[in-house]
A and B are shown apart, each in its own frame.
Chain A
Amino acid sequence: MKRFRLYLASVLLMALMVPSILSCTRNSDDDYAEFINTPRGVFSALWTIMDKHYCFFDLKQKELGVDWNAVYNKYSVSISDNMSSRALFEVLCSMIGELRDGHVNLYSQYDMGRNWSWKTDYPDNFSEDLQRAYLGKDYIIAGEDISYRLFTDNIGYLVIKSFLGGVSDSRFNSMFNTLALCNGLIIDVRDNGGGNTLYSDQIASKFTEERVLTGYSCYKNGPGHNDFSDLEENWLEPDRYNLRWVKPVILLTNRGCFSSTNDFVNIMKNLPNVTVLGDSTGGGGGFPFTSELPNGWVVRFSSAPTFDVSKQHIEMGIAPDIRLDMDEDDVKAGIDTYIEYARKLINDQIVNP
């Protein structure tokens, strides 16, 4: 009798375990394929990771004519199993370079593969020497890569070289106190390649009195090129615990404004007291993810796109309110066309309205 109960229990248990066993054995599809460490395996892994997770294929097809399947065919013929590692790296860099996305990089022991044509194919509109000359020697440091000074015509000049470092509220409060009597503020983010959006958001929150809709974000929720989550609204909240700047702001931009600086410009452009002056930004409107290839190389790519208030991509850059190019004669004469134009704008707006 007891043996019978034992058998009965075992049959019952096996019946309970059937779904579990099935769950382990039914995955005959190739959704989760492991790529092998050969040139073709690495190539396939890179192409597939991008195919499943990169978020701008439709945009790149529309703007640049990039067909990712055609890209596979184009570069696949260059792959052979006896090619050198360096040759493979070059082919893979060329492949991902088709996307012309600053957030798409391939990291190897040789180099960081990139395509920076979104910046290098355009005028610099920036001179670091001139910026240094305008800042002078007695500028004040308000944070990592953040400096400012007061111009003689009562205009503040704030340089943010990157958003990599933390933002000190107390130093910003001190800066706003120092510049309190100024007619306006010029914020120079030219050639700022980005950093952390938390810091750029934190700085932007000091320039608004109200809650402002600044754009939308979503993420990929499936492997298809158009598999995206619902758009989430991005709101800028005013910094209620620190001093805020409500006077005119001229934001200087060029093609070197990328990633979180692009986000910063997108946010600031929605504020009524801010005028964006200069060239279009370089873009970089996708939140980057990283992944590994079978040979240990690391690939970085855009995964979660950001949109402006009109639900348009900001990946290809943000147009300024006032388009301006640096004058070469000005540069030779030690004059920064952007800064001088911004000073004139503020003086025209405040001093001589």
Chain B
Amino acid sequence: MMKKTIFLTTDSSLCSRILSVLFCLVFLPALVLPAVGQSSAWNLPEHKERINAFSVGLGNTWERETYISELSYSGLTGSLQWDSWKGAVPDGKLGYGRTHASVLFGRPESTVGSRILYASVDYFYSREWSVVHTESSDLLLGPSAMFKLCGLYDMSNSNNTATGDGYLSLGLCVDYIGRFKIREYPLAVQVNMFSPLIGIAPAPNYDQPYWFVYKYNQYASLIHFAWAGNCFALNGQVNVICPVRGGSIRVGYNLDYLGNKLGGHLTRLTDTCFTIGFVHRLTKKNLRQ
């Protein structure tokens, strides 16, 4: 009866492709890259050692929301990002501490010309153990506690002009580090993925106005049980580490995806950023373990 374009085919295909590429990026280099010496661009932190990496990024936000109207938004995104690795206690299980935090902001425009304001903060903390350690690669894997909150300000759709999305979850973190050399110059590829598996996420119920929530104290109705089937999220990064005098520079690509169908609405948020930053290796005797 109605002429429509169904975006889900494209979207799900995109999602699968992203996952596939990330898996390839994680695992294939470990199999094909030649082994090089440990005098490389990036090694795991030792006991009482912490590696901090700070980056700024510029990229694109793509948002697909069906809150009342079915519209897509896209536009420039800026980001600030911090990653940290903390060395493991010798012989300790899940010894590596891994932290990721970032702030994203953008003002994407819809296909019909209206704009929304978008900002997100996230904080992930993981404990990882070394699954694979070779001369050329390291693979870390572990459980993660994750928090993400996105704020959307949309004057054109509904009377819930400001709405939120996000999750508080337990999930999984994977870190891959591949070391290689171009001529005599050591480089490292670092791939990281966070994905929540189970937790809670906020969403209003279909056409539930926020004034209704406020007036009738329906705050609990905003909280939904979330798992990977109804709220899928992925934070992936690919970075190349280049040692320079006094430290390292990292150049990377960051993908942040959040999709859920909570409250009867489909929301998909995709942020992509090309990032550049520096890596600082901190070794202190008094670093708390």
Contact = CB atoms under 8 A, between A and B. Distances in A.
A72 B141 CA distance: 55
A221 B132 contact: no
B227 A288 contact: no
Nearest to B221: A229
A218 B54 CA distance: 48
Contacts of B16: 21, 24-25
Contact of B209 (A6, A26, A219, A294): A219
Given A27-B12, A220-B206, A222-B206, A291 B69 contact: yes
A23 B3 CA distance: 25
B72 interface: yes
Interface string A265-287: 00000000000000000000001
B8 interface: yes
Contacts of A45: 69-70
A91 interface: no
Interface string B76-120: 000000000000000000000000000000000011111000000
A309 to B, nearest CB: 17
Given A10-B23, A14-B23, A24-B15, A289 B228 contact: no
A291 B195 contact: no
Interface in A238-267: none
B259 interface: yes
B19 A34 contact: no
A31 interface: yes
Contacts of B11: 24
A296 B232 CA distance: 30
Interface in A214-230: 217, 219-223, 227, 229
B19 A21 contact: yes
A23 B31 CA distance: 30
A287 B209 contact: yes
A36 B3 contact: yes
A80 interface: no
B131 to A, nearest CB: 5
B163 interface: no
Nearest to B260: A23
A304 B205 CA distance: 13
Nearest to B133: A2
A295 B112 contact: yes
A72 B205 CA distance: 27
B4 A30 contact: yes
B69 A292 contact: yes
Interface in A7-23: 9-10, 13-14, 16-17, 19-23
A16 B15 contact: no
A291 B68 contact: yes
B174 A217 contact: no
B282 interface: no
B220 to A, nearest CB: 14
A120 interface: no
B230 interface: yes
Contacts of A24: 11-12, 15-16, 232, 259
B156 A32 contact: no
B264 A290 contact: no
A296 B112 contact: yes
A23 B139 contact: no
B283 interface: no
B156 A290 contact: yes
A62 interface: no
A35 interface: yes
A9 B132 contact: yes
A34 B259 contact: no
Contacts of B185: none
Given A14-B23, A23-B229, A32 B207 contact: no
B21 interface: no
Contacts of A53: 68, 207
A90 interface: no
Contacts of A227: 206
A261 B227 CA distance: 45
A209 B205 CA distance: 35
A45 B112 CA distance: 13
A41 B69 CA distance: 13
B160 to A, nearest CB: 8
B71 interface: yes
Contact of B264 (A19, A48, A222): A222
Most buried by B among A3, A6, A222: A6
Given A10-B23, A298-B156, 14 more contacts: A19-B227, A25-B12, A31-B266, A32-B7, A32-B66, A33-B6, A38-B3, A219-B205, A221-B208, A229-B205, A290-B158, A296-B112, A296-B113, A304-B207
18 contacts: A6-B30, A17-B195, A21-B16, A23-B228, A23-B230, A28-B8, A33-B5, A35-B5, A37-B112, A41-B4, A49-B69, A221-B206, A222-B206, A223-B264, A227-B206, A290-B156, A291-B68, A292-B71
Q: Which 7 pairs show the lowest CB-CB distances between chains A and B?
A: A24-B15, A296-B112, A33-B4, A291-B69, A220-B207, A44-B2, A25-B12
